[in-house]
């Protein structure tokens, strides 16, 4: 998957766009101006969602789409802080013209299946990463299996995460994990403050891999699993794989694509 694909050929007058605005003060200050800038339609009638806010709000909208089985492309306008998943607010070019020229970036979220110590089962999607984190002062101890084979009998530390290329510049990068280029079809497996083995820096896995974590001594060393913002506490096993049935698409202005931003992150000092 690459964000250098041919731009959308739909003409501006053909676009059915829905406007979805964050309730943040910054976004609401521009709400009336944005509502009058185009002939918006209701979300259920739209071909494309225009999402106004920050990265957190974009993730919220994408998760709502996943839960509802919706796969419409999203074009973000940044009125938040970082705006890694968003485009700038440029009033000199109409929103329809910008979207017509935008590059499409398709990607697959992670699907997390978590089972708790009491036997409850949960399934959540993650666009950035799935992280396993110790719940108490006790070090977490995890067994790591990949495609059914034990690859590490025991990792002791604060936890571990599995990140997509989209999420590789988020929590994964803060945990000293690698930045993954879009279209690489890889995932980053990154330990969080590992105590044993100390020198293990993680691994890069093919997107086709199924990763399973089994919690060792879960009663004494409880662990929580977090799929983006969704948390499951006191897990006993967590199984993660790239979703086969869900695909999302973000739209980016030419020259300011997500791929370009990922390149830029790797040269910041």
Average pLDDT over residues 76-88: 87
| Degrees, nearest 5: CA angle 135-176-199 | 85
Confidence of residue 1 (pLDDT cuts 50, 70, 90): very low
Residues of the chain with CATH 2.60.200.30: 110-242
- pLDDT in the model for residue 13: 58
Using a pLDDT cut of 90, give the percent of the chain over it. Answer: 74
Q: Which CATH class is domain 12-108+247-265?
A: alpha beta
Asked if the model's pLDDT at residue 185 lies above 70, the reply is yes
Q: Which part of the chain is CATH 3.40.50.10330? A: 12-108+247-265
- Segment 124-141 mean pLDDT: 97
Distance CA 74, CA 50 (A): 6
The Cα–Cα gap between 58 and 78 comes to 9
Annotated catalytic residue, options 3, 32, 47, 55 = 55
pLDDT at 2: 41
- pLDDT of 112 strictly over 80: yes
234 is annotated as an active-site residue: no
Tell me which DSSP letter residue 167 carries: T
User: Which runs of consecutive H residues, i.e. helices, occur in 131-224?
Assistant: 171-174
For residue 49, what are the β-bridge partners? 18, 74
Amino acid 149: pLDDT:
98
The pLDDT, as a whole number, for residue 186 is 95
**Residue 260, pLDDT score:** 72
Fold of the 110-242 domain: Tumour Suppressor Smad4 (2.60.200)
96 has a pLDDT exceeding 50? yes
pLDDT at residue 91, rounded to an integer: 67
Per the annotation, where are the binding residues for NAD(+)? 55-56, 60, 128-129, 158, 166, 169-174
Annotated binding residues, written as ranges, equal 55-56, 60, 128-129, 158, 166, 169-174
d(CA 99, CA 96): 5
């Amino acid at each position: 998957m690459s964000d250098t694909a041919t731009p959308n050929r739909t003409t501006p007058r053909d676009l059915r766009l829905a406007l979805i605005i964050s309730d943040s003060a910054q976004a609401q200050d521009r709400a009336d101006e944005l509502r009058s800038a185009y002939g918006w339609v209701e979300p259920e009638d739209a071909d494309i969602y225009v999402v106004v806010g920050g990265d957190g709000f974009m993730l919220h909208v994408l998760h709502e789409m996943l839960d509802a089985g919706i796969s419409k492309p999203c074009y973000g306008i940044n009125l938040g802080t970082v705006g890694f998943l968003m485009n700038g607010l440029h009033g000199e070019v109409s929103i329809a013209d910008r979207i017509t020229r935008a590059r499409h970036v398709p990607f697959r979220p992670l699907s997390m299946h978590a089972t708790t110590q009491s036997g409850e089962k949960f399934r959540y999607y993650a666009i950035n990463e799935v992280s396993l984190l110790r719940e108490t002062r006790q070090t977490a101890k995890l067994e790591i299996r990949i495609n059914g084979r034990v690859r590490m009998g025991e990792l002791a530390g604060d936890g571990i995460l599995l990140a997509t290329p989209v999420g590789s510049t988020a929590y994964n990068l803060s945990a000293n994990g690698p930045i993954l280029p879009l279209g690489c079809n890889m995932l980053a497996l990154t330990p969080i403050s590992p105590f044993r083995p100390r020198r293990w820096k993680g691994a890069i896995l093919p997107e086709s891999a199924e990763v399973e974590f089994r919690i060792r001594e879960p009663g004494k060393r409880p662990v929580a699993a977090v799929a983006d913002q969704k948390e499951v506490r006191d897990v006993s096993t967590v199984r993660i794989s790239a979703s086969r049935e869900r695909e999302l698409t973000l739209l980016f202005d030419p020259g300011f694509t997500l791929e370009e931003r990922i390149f830029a992150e790797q040269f910041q000092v």
